């Protein structure tokens, strides 16, 4: 019996995407929340194009960060209903496969949210990028992975606590501060074209590698903690 982690991760990923496709719980709540943030902020500030470029990084990542937190809580809540997580734990499948599948599933959902929301940000804030857009794509890919990998890990940690909705941001946000700061800076640097975001991109890449490895290695302990 060969239980390859990547094959089992893909089994978990397909299961998560199929469940999400049927319920659309995660995507709907993320979209609604993000839409609210975009609309409220657009009415709250009256900015010039230049000013918008400078603050857009913070605004965009704030919206995506909190939307991601909502998604992560719900993706694990699905595993608690009817105790399904126990069925996984009694199986011979390695915990890392569940973690990897969940991370990729959440990553794809948040990316989808970003793709759907990007035109709205452009319209509501009259955003255009001075720097190359491909750099922005790299920042978003790395930034989203950084949020999702830590978020999936800490959501699993808080899943069995009484106040899991409160616990996740409390655990996730402090750890994510360096990555979020880097994402905001890099996004502003690309949008304004004033400086190169290369340093921030390198930092994000290292952050992703370090935290993905740490979360991957520690996940079995977290999943089986009582």
Partner 1 sequence: MRNVSLSLDAGRFYVLRGDNGAGKSTLLRMIAGLNEPTEGRILVFGQNHKDARSLMGYMAHASLLYEDFSAMENLRFFSRLYSIDSDALLEAAIRRVGLDPRLDRHVGQYSQGMRQRLSLARAIFHGPSLLLLDEPFSNVDPDSATEIVQLLAGMRNEGKTILLVTHQAGILSDIADEFLVMSRGELVSRSTPQQVHA
Binding site for partner 1 (CB under 8 A): 1-3, 8, 11, 15, 18-19, 22-23, 78, 81-84, 86-93, 224, 226
- Are 179 and 147 a contacting pair, CB within 8 Å? yes
Name the residue nearer to partner 1 (CB basis): 2 or 163. 2
Q: To the nearest whole angstrom, how small is the minimum distance from the Cβ of residue 22 to partner 1?
A: 5
- Are 59 and 41 a contacting pair, CB within 8 Å? yes
Name the residue nearer to partner 1 (CB basis): 10 or 62. 10
Q: To the nearest whole angstrom, how small is the minimum distance from the Cβ of residue 4 to partner 1?
A: 9
Exposure of 213 in the CB half-sphere (CA atoms within 13 A): 5
Name the residue nearer to partner 1 (CB basis): 11 or 120. 11
What distance separates the 2 farthest-apart alpha carbons in the chain? 62
Q: To the nearest whole angstrom, how small is the minimum distance from the Cβ of residue 149 to partner 1?
A: 22
Please report how the helices 25-44 and 49-80 are oriented relative to each other, as an axis angle in degrees rounded to 10.
Answer: 160
DSSP 93: S
Q: To the nearest whole angstrom, how small is the minimum distance from the Cβ of residue 210 to partner 1?
A: 29
Name the residue nearer to partner 1 (CB basis): 39 or 87. 87
Q: To the nearest whole angstrom, how small is the minimum distance from the Cβ of residue 8 to partner 1?
A: 7
Which segments of the chain does DSSP mark as H helices, in order? 5-23, 25-44, 49-80, 84-89, 95-125, 133-158, 164-192, 198-223
Which segments of 54-180 are extended strands (E)?
Answer: none
Name the residue nearer to partner 1 (CB basis): 86 or 165. 86
């Amino acid at each position: 019996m060969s239980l390859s982690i990547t094959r089992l991760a893909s089994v978990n990923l397909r299961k998560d995407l199929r469940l999400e496709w049927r319920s659309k719980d995660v995507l709907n709540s993320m979209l609604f929340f993000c839409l609210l943030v975009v609309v409220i902020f657009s009415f709250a500030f009256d900015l010039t194009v230049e000013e918008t470029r400078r603050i857009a990084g913070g605004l965009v990542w704030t919206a995506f960060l909190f939307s991601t937190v909502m998604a992560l809580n719900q993706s694990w809540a699905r595993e608690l209903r009817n105790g399904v997580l126990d069925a996984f734990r009694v199986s011979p499948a390695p915990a890392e496969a569940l973690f990897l599948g969940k991370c990729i599933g959440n990553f794809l959902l948040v990316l989808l949210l970003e793709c759907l929301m990007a035109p709205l940000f452009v319209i509501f804030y009259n955003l255009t990028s001075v720097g190359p857009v491909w750099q922005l794509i790299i920042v978003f890919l790395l930034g989203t992975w950084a949020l999702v990998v830590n978020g999936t890990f800490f959501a699993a940690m808080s899943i069995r606590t009484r106040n899991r909705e409160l616990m996740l941001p409390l655990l996730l946000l402090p750890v994510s501060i360096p990555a979020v700061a880097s994402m905001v800076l890099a996004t502003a640097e690309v949008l304004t074209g004033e400086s190169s975001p290369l340093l921030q991109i390198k930092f994000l890449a290292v952050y992703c590698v370090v935290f993905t490895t740490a979360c991957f290695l520690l996940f079995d302990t977290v999943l089986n903690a009582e």
